[in-house]
Amino acid sequence: MKEPWPHALWIVRHGQSAGNVARDAAEAAGHALIDVEHRDIDVPLSPLGVEQSRALGRWFGALAPEQRPQVVLCSPYVRARDTARLVLEEARLRPGAEVRLRVDERLREKEFGILDRLTKLGIRQKYPELNEQRSHVGKFYFRPPGGESWCDVILRLRSLTEMMTREHGGERVLVVAHQVIVNCMRYLLENLDESQILGIDRLGDVPNCSVTSYALDAQARCLHLDLVNFVAPLLEAGAPVTAAKDIPAAPKP
């Protein structure tokens, strides 16, 4: 009988990006706009993000061959694709020969709409009514004009998890994506509710290149949580751990 879930599932946030660095600089300087020249999909890794990705790749490469990823599902955003590429390079896993690499648009970053590139100050100044509405509704349900709520992200991830059970049951799957994707995947896989996932979110940002993983419980035929925001591969390699918010950094409810 085919397994109903992947045998192992790792969910990784991309390495630190140039956008993370620009956002921190804008917030520290009290600017309303985050100075990023690229559209969000094209924002690259920072030099530190490259270092973090390579450190994580060495950790995967140190696993026994029968424990390494067989399938990589990746966001189409440059920072996620480059993270996946560097991880595979350092792990000495060749796409097509030793691992199947699939770029999937359902793993893209949450779309921020008209709030894109604005700092907390910028949102309050330019869209005070939206800022108030978001504080009242909460980030789980609030959808900025032209953007997505967490519920919208979860909706597209439901079809992704269904695809994983259908096409990758019993396999070892690595997902490389974004902070909101990590949290929304946890919401789905752990059968959480709004208050539970927002409680997790309030504990802090998902570190760049951290690993949240699940292992298959063959008897119960379900996944169980194994690691949460695991950063030991970075610490062991001496790569600084960062936990920067994605753009924009609207206030948490």
What are residue 10's DSSP bridge partners?
174, 213
Contacts of residue 191, Cβ cutoff 8 Å, sequence gap at least 6: none
pTM: 0.93
Distance between CA 189 and CA 95 in Å, rounded?
Answer: 27
- Phi, then psi, of 95 in degrees rounded to 5: -60, 135
Q: Is the pLDDT of residue 56 over 50?
A: yes
DSSP 159: H
Q: Is the pLDDT of residue 94 over 50?
A: yes
The pLDDT value recorded for residue 220 is 80
**Residue pair 113/146 in contact by the 8 Å Cβ criterion:** yes
Q: Is the pLDDT of residue 219 over 90?
A: no
252 labelled ligand-binding: no
Q: Is the pLDDT of residue 250 over 50?
A: no
**Residue pair 130/123 in contact by the 8 Å Cβ criterion:** yes
The pLDDT value recorded for residue 81 is 98
Q: What is the mean pLDDT of the chain?
A: 93
Per-residue pLDDT reduced to its tens digit, 161-170: 999 999 999 9
Beta strand pairing status for 71-74 and 100-103? parallel
Distance between CA 118 and CA 33 in Å, rounded?
Answer: 5
The pLDDT value recorded for residue 251 is 38
Q: Is the pLDDT of residue 249 over 50?
A: no
120 labelled ligand-binding: yes
Per-residue pLDDT reduced to its tens digit, 8-55: 999 999 999 998 899 889 988 999 999 888 899 999 999 999 999 999
Cβ neighbours of 124 (radius 10 Å)? 16
Distance between CA 237 and CA 145 in Å, rounded?
Answer: 42
Q: Judge if the upstream peptide bond of residue 144 is cis by omega within 30 degrees of 0.
A: no
